Amino acid sequence: MNNKQLGAIGEKCAAQFLKNKNYKILEMNFSCCYGEIDIIAKDKNSIVFVEVKTRSSTNFGRGMEAVNFYKQQKLKKAALYYINKKTPVFSNIRFDVIDILIPNDQDIKIDHIENAF
């Protein structure tokens, strides 16, 4: 399985995980000139921009470690673009990271970091 396939599986797992937590998925893989947002969801009165990082091992670190300052700035710009373009009304904006580890086909470990940055 290549990285793109692993990422797609991780995003589907993350979306299902959020649905199980009563989030409403608004969009997946929103793309604009500033970059891509993996999942945009609604949690009560909050709009949540979610970055999903999926790994098959921790040999090169956890996925959440890849959401560095540069990546955070890109996500913030893309989120502002989304808000200005779609004009949704939300009282809160939040950025979450979902770190998924899939070492084999049976085991999936999901860590959800709310308000990650």
Q: How far apart are CA 109 and CA 11, in angstroms?
A: 13
107 and 58 Cβ atoms separated by less than 8 Å: no
pLDDT of residue 88: 67
Domain locations in the chain as residue ranges: 3-113
Tens-place pLDDT, residues 71-115: 999 999 999 999 998 866 777 999 999 999 998 767 899 999 999
38 and 75 Cβ atoms separated by less than 8 Å: no
Give every strand in the sheet of 109-113, ordered side by side.
24-32, 35-43, 46-55, 92-101, 109-113
Q: Rounded to two decimals, what is the model's pTM?
A: 0.91
Task: Report which of 8, 62, 14, 60 is spatially closest to residue 39, judged by C-alpha positions.
Answer: 14
Taking the domain 3-113, which CATH number applies?
3.40.1350.10
pLDDT of residue 46: 92
Kindly give the pairing relationship between strand 35-43 and strand 24-32.
antiparallel
pLDDT of residue 87: 67
Tens-place pLDDT, residues 16-37: 999 999 999 999 999 999 999 9
